[in-house]
A and B are shown apart, each in its own frame.
Chain A
């Protein structure tokens, strides 16, 4: 399969809790990106981390990258009901081609 793996496939938490999603990929990458998708909508770019970076922050988002394990994680702190969505990692191996992971469906209960 072209896709990377993401876990968990689905995650249900209470508002205010932190949500952690993990992503693994198969080949060496130039960068890895995380996207958010609300049901039936297009994708929103959240954050990009380059292969020579280990951690990146953006607001309540924290992304880590471990190239030795070919894995990345997305942490959303102090989650809100509005964070309910599907989250995808997407690995870029060079040029413009991007391979998407299977996604994690996050549900934040108010």
Chain B
């Protein structure tokens, strides 16, 4: 149990376009979902935390108008990178915590590699 999927697994887009990444908890209801970005050979940096039905909480330095997060249900959160630029190219990973189970344990998706040309 506790499987998280992401779609797409990789995407290439042109500069100036928007890209939507989906994060789904497949077999559990997620209280909270998290979005991270990871540059090559670096650690994960938390971008934002989202709870179902409420606005996401963004970390300092993360532009909320650029990285739109929607958490419409207990099993789905989306991250939209708006007006993407080459510097937005990165590995984006989501995670989810479930309503029941080990407190604060996060289950991670497989990641989405975004390349902006």
Contact = CB atoms under 8 A, between A and B. Distances in A.
Given A96-B49, A97-B46, A40 B107 contact: no
Interface residues of B, number: 28
B54 interface: no
A36 B49 CA distance: 22
A105 B44 contact: no
A45 interface: yes
Contacts of A44: 108
Given A42-B111, A96-B34, A105 B41 contact: yes
B113 interface: yes
Nearest to A3: B43
Contacts of B93: 42-43
Interface in B40-78: 41-46, 49, 59
20 contacts: A2-B46, A33-B105, A41-B110, A42-B109, A42-B110, A43-B93, A43-B95, A44-B108, A45-B105, A45-B106, A45-B107, A96-B49, A96-B97, A97-B49, A98-B46, A98-B104, A100-B36, A100-B43, A100-B44, A103-B43
Q: Which 9 A-B pairs have the closest CB atoms?
A: A42-B110, A43-B108, A42-B108, A100-B44, A100-B43, A42-B111, A102-B43, A96-B32, A92-B104
